[in-house]
Structure 1
C-alpha cells in the first residue's frame, strides 16, 4: 500500500511538473533541493553531536 501511495504521489508531481513553465519548475526544484540539503546538514550535525 505504501508503494502504491508513493507511485501515485510521484505521478501527480511529474504530471504537475509537465504542465508548468520551465522557470517555475526550476525555481520550485531549487527550493526543494535547498530545503533537502539544509535538512540533511542539520540531521548530520545532530548525529555528530550525539556521539
Structure 2
C-alpha cells in the first residue's frame, strides 16, 4: 500500500489517508468512504422557564 500525502495537500490528511487505506485493502463499507464527509454534530440545549 502506498499513500502520497502531497497529492492530498489541500484536503484533511487523516480523512484521505483512511479512504486510501480502505480502498487499497478493498474495504467498501461506507463508514470508511462517504460517511467520513458527513460531519455530523449533535448539540443539546436545555433552558429553564423564565431564564433570560
* Same fold, judged at TM 0.5 (above): no
Higher RCO (C-alpha 8 Å, min separation 6): 2
With normalisation by structure 1, the TM-score equals 0.29
With normalisation by structure 2, the TM-score equals 0.28
Is the helix fraction higher in 1 or 2? Answer: 1
